[in-house]
A and B are shown apart, each in its own frame.
Chain A
Amino acid sequence: MKILVPVKRVIDYNVKVRVKSDQSGVDLANVKMSMNPFDEIAVEEAVRLKEAGTAEEIVAVSIGPEKAQDQLRQALAMGADRAILIKTEETVEPLAVAKLLKKVVEEESPELVILGKQAIDDDSNQTGQMLAALLGWAQGTFASKVNLADGKIDVTREIDGGLQTVSLKLPAIVTTDLRLNEPRYASLPNIMKAKKKPLDVKEIGDYGVDVAPRLETLKVTEPPKREAGVKVESVAELVDKLKNEAGVL
């Protein structure tokens, strides 16, 4: 069985994001970039399925700038077998990503695609679902546990108020939640081996897909500064403030 794992290059989760002064977006100059943490979880899950003997091949794919090769190399060092970079310096919206991934799926014929539930840069949480719709495949989103056996995959999902387990026929789409696993570090020997694994570089044009943006960003602003809290003397005062100042009661 073959697994496809899309990975995205995003601002590192430890970086304090700064909004550009013209409010057109966030500042990416000299900012540390990393693999989207949910995608690391996706790679880890695929590698575990391979280690368990359930999967034979893992293909990592990224749509992004030349430098996204770093993230693909990380996926290779974690245990993916080969990688594909679809190169673009432009921002590609979730729908366009899903369309490109559909083409990759048609070429590669994986039985399972594991994606992060969302990327921590724009938090869209759309790509996996759109890909499932375009392919007409079953989907299990926000997976906190997966169990693959007998041509189907059971996905335990984190939903409001508890857990839900869905059973999907293969081929299927799974998107990962935080608690699915703890991704491994890429070790030095494996980073060295990853350098020798195949990494194909393609252009968006190779896929004949319309990636024109459908969304327009009006402006990006800093979240409002949190103001210092106040101490109240009594429950009555608290209720009064909630009612009359905060307006939440």
Chain B
Amino acid sequence: MTQTGMDTDVFQAFVVQLERFVRERLVPAEKETEKLNRVPDAILAEMRDMGLFGLTMPEEYGGAGMNVSQYVETIRILSWASGAFRALISINIGMACSALVKNGTDEQRKYWLPKLADGAIAAFALTEPDSGSDAAALKTSARRDGGDYVLNGSKRYITNAPFADMIIVMARTEAAALPKNAHISAFLVPADTPGVSIGKPEEKLGQNGSQIADVILEDARVPAAALLGGEEGTGFKAAMQSLDAGRICIAAAATGYAARILDCGLRYAAERKAFGQPIAQFQLIQAMLADSKAELYAAECMIRDAALNADKGRQVSLEASCAKMYASEMCGRIADRVVQIHGGAGYLKEYEAERFFRDARIFRIYEGTTQIQQLVIAKNMLRRMAG
């Protein structure tokens, strides 16, 4: 069963508007976003109006019902601008939507999906101080108490936590680890639940404007209806189900941003003169531009192919990890070369190349580090060989 997504002509009409919105509204707002360390309210309102928070939610819940290809293409286009804008919508259209659609109860879908499509902001809290890559080792606990669950623990590096209206909290409903990580459940926690507090936003290397913070749960009490799917032990499975699309999505973000960075490098090379000619005329500069372009093109092809296969209902863990690893590393290389093309200017805050270099670094870390992607790729290779 192929996921057809939105009508192609409607999607194309949206792409035309989105490209303009990104260049005319988001890019000019980047400096202020960086300075305020948050997306300005007026821009957030415009993003909501554009319908960006509802890209993937089914139409019946107020969303646009995009398939993976369309959603990934949208993210690529959006990522011409700072990652701060994308980060705001990322959980809504990714993990939260997928978890609710695939695993939520009817009631949970009806309650949350329209709100999220409308622009209520979601966060996804998996990582903890002592568990990151080894996510299943998380310690946060959910204890059943009559008709409620009581949550305790702390979450770390949670994107959007300071702005969130709703937090998907991954917690243990069993003390001992179970096969298939069935000791972990997911809870849909309104951010204003008593006992939930948000730490101070972390100071980061890049992607300023997007905020991450701790989420602290101290006897936070939620009704049993907040348990995703109404069934214990399905939380990890739910997280895994959106993992592939999520990884293609980060690959698309890295690819979109890399295109922007390379464009900046190309323009600078054409303008800057040394030894009486534009530096773009020097073959060593041309080599950097050409390598960058070829790698960018490869990543673009990878994300499209992986998304297309995901829409065809194929298992794409290997392809998604390949795309995520390659695109994030590629973006880092391009950001590095573009600093080099800028020479001394590339090291100064005054030039965009400096910010690009800092921003690009995260792609290799979240949604599974490069090393974790390598493990996934190799594991899938061996599995496919065994048949």
Let me know if B10 and A192 touch, CB within 8 A.
yes
The interface residues of chain A lying within 8 Å CB-to-CB of B54 are 188-189
- Indicate if A191 sits at the interface (CB-CB under 8 A): yes
**A192-B10, A195-B7 as given contacts; A187 in contact with B16, CB under 8 Å:** no
The interface residues of chain B lying within 8 Å CB-to-CB of A185 are 17, 20-21, 25, 50
A225-239 CB mask vs B (1 if < 8 Å, else 0) is 000000000000000
Let me know if B16 and A188 touch, CB within 8 A.
no
Among residues of B, the one whose C-beta sits closest to the C-beta of A35 is B16
**A74-B13, A192-B10 as given contacts; A187 in contact with B50, CB under 8 Å:** yes
Among residues of B, the one whose C-beta sits closest to the C-beta of A188 is B51
How many chain A residues touch B (Cβ–Cβ < 8 Å)?
Answer: 15
How big is the B interface, by class? 20 to 34
- Indicate if A73 sits at the interface (CB-CB under 8 A): yes
Let me know if B49 and A192 touch, CB within 8 A.
no
The interface residues of chain A lying within 8 Å CB-to-CB of B20 are 185
Among residues of A, the one whose C-beta sits closest to the C-beta of B59 is A192
The interface residues of chain B lying within 8 Å CB-to-CB of A74 are 13, 16-17
Tally the A-B contacts, defined by beta carbons under 8 Å: 47
- Indicate if A70 sits at the interface (CB-CB under 8 A): yes
**A34-B16, A73-B13 as given contacts; A188 in contact with B7, CB under 8 Å:** no
Among residues of A, the one whose C-beta sits closest to the C-beta of B53 is A188
Q: Return A15 CB to nearest CB of chain B, in Å.
A: 13
Among A34, A77, A192, the residue within 8 A (CB) of B64 is: A192
Bound form: Cα–Cα A11–B237 in Å:
50
- Indicate if A186 sits at the interface (CB-CB under 8 A): yes
A130-168 CB mask vs B (1 if < 8 Å, else 0) is 000000000000000000000000000000000000000
Give the interface of A toward B (CB within 8 A): 34, 70, 73-74, 77, 185-192, 194-195
Give the interface of B toward A (CB within 8 A): 6-7, 9-10, 13-14, 16-17, 20-21, 25, 49-52, 54-55, 59, 62, 64
29 contacts across the A-B interface (CB closer than 8 A) = A73-B13, A74-B13, A74-B16, A74-B17, A77-B13, A77-B17, A185-B17, A185-B20, A185-B25, A185-B50, A186-B13, A186-B14, A186-B17, A187-B17, A187-B49, A187-B50, A187-B51, A188-B14, A188-B51, A188-B54, A189-B54, A189-B62, A191-B10, A191-B13, A192-B6, A192-B10, A192-B64, A194-B13, A195-B7
